[in-house]
């Protein structure tokens, strides 16, 4: 039996939504968004083929709450055409608030999961979510697809000589290991600490052997860029050759992209889960493959 898909993308993911639709040979339904002077969004979209599987594609990067509310609104309205709605949230905002770290903190990810389910999502698809624990808050089928193979493919074409993959912290060790295996090279992991109250980052590693090597710093999310900047500065002091940065989600808040390059990074490569200057890697194929 041939599965019929339809794709609707919110304002945060229009290009990615169109790419996914083309790969699935599915109709793309334009969601038109009008933002009023007070910040309210009004969304309208055309007819959708009845009983198709509807993919609502909307990353929830800044403005996070606006993009999240748009996703919820589209999902809710799409229920008029189908009961099979997949929420494709390539970048899932609030995924870092998946548990209580300090007393009194709200676990916002649990609330977001409930809202998406209540709106009508029957499945959730994300890309390289920050923590698998975040997905545990969903009581519907969920899938976390990886952009690492696509990112590695991009760097493979660059044909770097004497390359070494680096994780800026222990939490990203498995990601760096996978990336390095795809490039057929080695990897190292730096030790990092972050003050939970101030957010200040410190590299605790004392010395690493990176002399003369091209380094690829691999991370899932770059927000302020503090971790990557501290890592790049540390690695530069160790006499490495060039430093490249690869990440799935390039938020780059507070002028982060400029600050990262100022720290000595030759090039930053991210995916189109969040559109921007560095979004050179397309994740539409891995998303389309995951829903087929």
CB neighbourhood size of 139 (10 A): 9
**143 within 8 A of 275, measured Cβ to Cβ:** no
192 catalytic residue (yes or no): yes
Residues in Cβ contact with 231 at an 8 Å cutoff, skipping those fewer than 6 apart: 166, 168, 190, 192, 203, 217
SS3 of residue 245 by DSSP:
strand
Q: Where on the phi/psi map is residue 57: left (φ > 0), alpha (ψ -120 to 50), or beta?
A: beta
Tell me how far apart the alpha carbons of residues 129 and 113 are, in angstroms, rounded to a whole number. 13
Tell me how far apart the alpha carbons of residues 244 and 21 are, in angstroms, rounded to a whole number. 32
Residue 71 CA: distances (Å) to CA of 79, 91, 175, 183, 197? 13, 12, 29, 36, 31
Quick one: tokens of 132? 């698998």
Residue 147 CA: distances (Å) to CA of 23, 91, 218, 248, 285? 16, 11, 12, 6, 10
Whole-number CA gyration radius for the chain: 20
Tell me how far apart the alpha carbons of residues 112 and 98 are, in angstroms, rounded to a whole number. 10
Q: Which is nearest to 12 in space by CA: 280, 279, 281?
A: 279
Q: Which residue in the list 142, 192, 213, 241 is annotated as catalytic?
A: 192
- Catalytic sites, residue numbers: 192
């Amino acid at each position: 039996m041939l599965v019929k898909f339809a794709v609707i993308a919110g304002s945060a993911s229009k290009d990615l939504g169109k790419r996914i639709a083309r790969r699935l040979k599915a109709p793309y339904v334009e969601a038109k968004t009008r933002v009023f002077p007070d910040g309210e969004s009004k969304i309208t979209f055309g007819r959708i083929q009845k009983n198709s599987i509807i993919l609502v594609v909307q990353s929830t990067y800044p403005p996070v709450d606006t993009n999240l509310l748009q996703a919820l609104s589209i999902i809710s309205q799409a229920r008029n055409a189908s009961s099979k709605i997949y929420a494709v949230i390539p970048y899932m905002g609030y995924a870092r608030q998946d548990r209580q770290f300090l007393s009194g903190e709200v676990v916002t990810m649990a609330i977001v999961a409930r809202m998406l389910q209540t709106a009508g999502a029957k499945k959730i698809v994300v890309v390289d979510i920050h923590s698998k624990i975040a997905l545990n808050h969903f009581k519907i089928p969920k899938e976390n697809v990886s952009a690492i193979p696509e990112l590695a493919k991009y760097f493979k074409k660059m044909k770097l000589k004497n390359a070494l993959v680096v994780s800026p912290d222990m939490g990203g060790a498995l990601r760096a290991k996978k990336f390095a295996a795809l490039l057929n090279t080695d990897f190292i992991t730096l030790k990092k600490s972050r003050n939970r109250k101030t957010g200040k980052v410190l590299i605790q590693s004392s010395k690493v052997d990176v002399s003369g090597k091209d380094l690829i710093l691999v991370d899932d999310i770059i927000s302020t860029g503090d971790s990557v900047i501290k890592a790049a500065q540390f690695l530069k002091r160790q006499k490495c050759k060039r430093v490249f940065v690869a990440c799935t989600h390039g938020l780059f808040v507070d002028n982060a992209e400029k600050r990262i390059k100022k720290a000595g990074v030759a090039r930053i490569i991210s995916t189109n889960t969040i559109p921007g200057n560095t979004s050179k890697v397309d994740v539409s194929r891995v998303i389309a493959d995951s829903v087929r």
